[in-house]
Amino acid sequence: MGASDSKLQFKSHINTLTDQRVLAKDHEFWKVLYTAALTETEVYEAIQPEDVRKLREQQPGNLATIIYKVCFTKNVAADCFNQHFFNFVECRAVVFIYATTKLSE
């Protein structure tokens, strides 16, 4: 799979996460996110703040699964997976989870 295909598949999976429930046991689905051959910049471009907010509001079960799987996978087999995705979830997504969509005046 080429770099462009990998980016498209990754973004498609992010969109799926915000639109429908994905079971934690659907390992093939989750594996695409964890093994995508993307750079840090590509991960950050693919997952926008609005994606995280939408995930938080519309599919909180998927958000919980992401956080659980990142923590579990990072401790079990970190060398096999895309560290940029893990870093995004750990550092940036947590901010978006708690951020409001409107700033108070």
3-state DSSP helix/strand/coil % of the chain, to nearest 5: 75, 0, 25
pTM for the model stands at 0.72
Q: Is residue 103 part of a domain?
A: no
Q: Is residue 104 part of a domain?
A: no
The more confidently predicted of residues 36 and 95 is 36
Q: Is residue 76 part of a domain?
A: yes
Q: Is residue 105 part of a domain?
A: no
- Judge whether 38 and 46 are in contact, CB under 8 Å: yes
Q: Is residue 43 part of a domain?
A: yes
How many distinct structural domains can be found in the chain?
Answer: 1
DSSP assigned state of 90: I
- Judge whether 3 and 37 are in contact, CB under 8 Å: yes
- Judge whether 85 and 43 are in contact, CB under 8 Å: yes
**pLDDT tens profile 24-48:** 999 899 888 888 888 888 988 888 8
Q: Which domain holds residue 80?
A: 3-98
